[in-house]
Every structure is written in structure tokens, then in C-alpha cells.
Amino acid sequence: MTSTPTAPDAVPREQPRTDLPPVVDLETWQTARDELLVREKAHTREGDALAAERRRLPMVEVDSTVEAVGADGPVPFLSLFQGREDLVVYKHMWHDGAPHQGQCEGCTLSAWHFQSSVYLNAAGVSWAVVTTGAWDEVAPFVEFMGYTEPWYSVRDVDGVIGSDMGSITCFVRDGDRVFLTYETTGRGTELLTPTFALLDLTAHGRREDWQDSPDGWPEGHGAGWFWRKDSDDNPTWGPTGRPAAQWSRPGATPVTTLGRTGEHH
């Protein structure tokens, strides 16, 4: 028995994809899903246990009278609580003198995801963004981005309140006294970015080279590969890119430079 030769003009058969999970029947999939669910529930319970440990951390008193500059001018840090007992602060990095597209892409990612504090407020918690940028530079940026939650400059504030930008920091007050209770940075700030959690649910995850992917899958991109895009929707960290969220803003036009003249203040 001989094989049938392939016609010269036949369309080549596509090679099977190696970057997709194996195909199974629904019963097999459900069994595998249920096995993973056991670990997911354990992960959730461990998260609850960590939260319980956070509630048992000691606290450090900070100066509640130091001034932050916001839309209404200088105000004491205590006023950021807006009369509530707890305060969550996101500390946004800043590049002095840079135009909007030159500001921190990672902090833009975090701040953009959190557009309303109504449910924090309902639980007795206030929210604010602070940055070391001068207020006369920060205010136009906040207006351009369309942020409605309160922002403040802590440019000349020393200590905990004015340090460690790129972090989430929690405070509690007892009357007029204010205390630091928790702070996290790095991947800890992913609490603000549900995009990451949703990507982690998808078949391809974050498509980044550090993640554990099945054998045979293409190598991923560098971390943060999609945080900046150019006017043609291509991911880029070059001088023609903006933080991805900025392209949704009125007046966002193509750029040729990030305009960064120095490091974070």
C-alpha cells in the first residue's frame, strides 16, 4: 500500500498549536477543576489568616499636623481621614518636570484601577493619593486623567507620610492622633489592580517571561510589557509611549518623548 502524494498546489496543513491546554471532555475538565478548587480554597483561607495577622500588628504614631497640599491648599494630614477612623493611602511616584506621558506607568496602572472609594467610605474608611510632586504640576495631571478621588502633594513632608512612594499605606486615628498600621509595596500593590487577578485566570496568564507556563509555550514578554502603548496601540516603553490608560483621555495625542529630566523626586 502506497501513500497518496501531496499535490504541489495543496494548502499546507497547519501545525498543531503548542500554546493551548489539551482538549478533554467536560467530565475530565470538571474533575481537574475540582482538584484545583481545593487548593484555591486553601489559598483563600491562608489569605484570611494573613489578614488576621495584619490586624494584630503593632502601630507607630505619626505627626497628624504635617501639611499636605491639595485642591483646597495646605491641610493637616489628619484632614485626609475626612472624619472617618481609617485611611488608606496610595503613594504615587512622580517625575519632576515631566509631561503627563512621562509620569510613572506602574503608579498610573494602580491609581487608574481605583476610581471610587464609595464602598471604602461605607465601611468607615477614607482614601487618598499622595505624591512628592509639586502641587502645581500634580493638579494638571489629576485633571487630565479625570481622577475624582482626592490627591495631595507631600513634597516637603519627612518621615512615613512623605516616603516610600509606590506603596499602599494604612493609617488609623484615635481622636487627633494618627498611627501607621500597615504598608506594602512591589507586588503587594497588586491589591489595587484587578487586571492582574483576571489575567491570572486566563489560559495564557499575564504573558510575561517570569510566569510558570507549560512546556512548549512561547516565551513571554518582560514584566509590565503592556503598561505603556503608542498611538498605534503597540506596547512600548520607548519615547513614543504613554501609560495605556492615558490614551482614553480627551486630548491625548502621539508623543515623541517622555520628557523625564531626572529620577523620581
**CB neighbour list of residue 199: distance below 8 Å, 6 or more residues apart:** 205, 206, 207
Q: What is the mean pLDDT of the chain?
A: 93
- DSSP bridge partners of 185: 167
Q: Mean pLDDT across the stretch 119-138?
A: 98
Predicted confidence (pLDDT) at residue 10 exceeds the cutoff of 90 = no
* Backbone dihedral region for residue 149 (phi beyond 0: left; psi -120 to 50: alpha; all else: beta): beta
How many structural domains is the chain composed of? 1
Is 154 within a domain? yes
Q: Mind listing the pLDDT tens digit for each residue in 180-196?
A: 999 999 999 999 999 99
Q: Identify the DSSP state of 235.
A: B
Is 29 within a domain? no
What pLDDT shows up at residue 15? 72
Is 238 within a domain? no
Is 35 within a domain? no
The string of DSSP letters for 4-58 reads PPPPTTPPPPPPPPSSSPPP--HHHHHHHHHHHHHHHHHHHHHHHHHHHHHTT--
What pLDDT shows up at residue 12? 55
Q: Which helix (H) or strand (E) holds 137?
A: helix 135-145
Is 87 within a domain? yes
Is 31 within a domain? no
Strand order in the sheet with 167-174: 60-62, 177-185, 167-174, 86-92, 125-131, 151-153, 67-70, 73-76
Measure Cα distances from 26 to 9, 31, 58, 201, 227 in Å. 39, 9, 50, 18, 36
CATH number of domain containing 103: 3.40.30.10
Query: How confident is residue 207, by pLDDT bands cut at 50, 70 and 90?
Result: very high
What pLDDT shows up at residue 233? 96
Q: Please state, for a pLDDT cut of 90, what percent of the chain lies above it.
A: 89
What pLDDT shows up at residue 13? 55
Q: Mean pLDDT across the stretch 140-144?
A: 98
What pLDDT shows up at residue 8? 44
Predicted confidence (pLDDT) at residue 218 exceeds the cutoff of 90 = no
Is 207 within a domain? no
Q: Which pTM value belongs to this model?
A: 0.90
Domain of 174 in residue numbering reads as 60-193
Q: Please state, for a pLDDT cut of 70, what percent of the chain lies above it.
A: 93
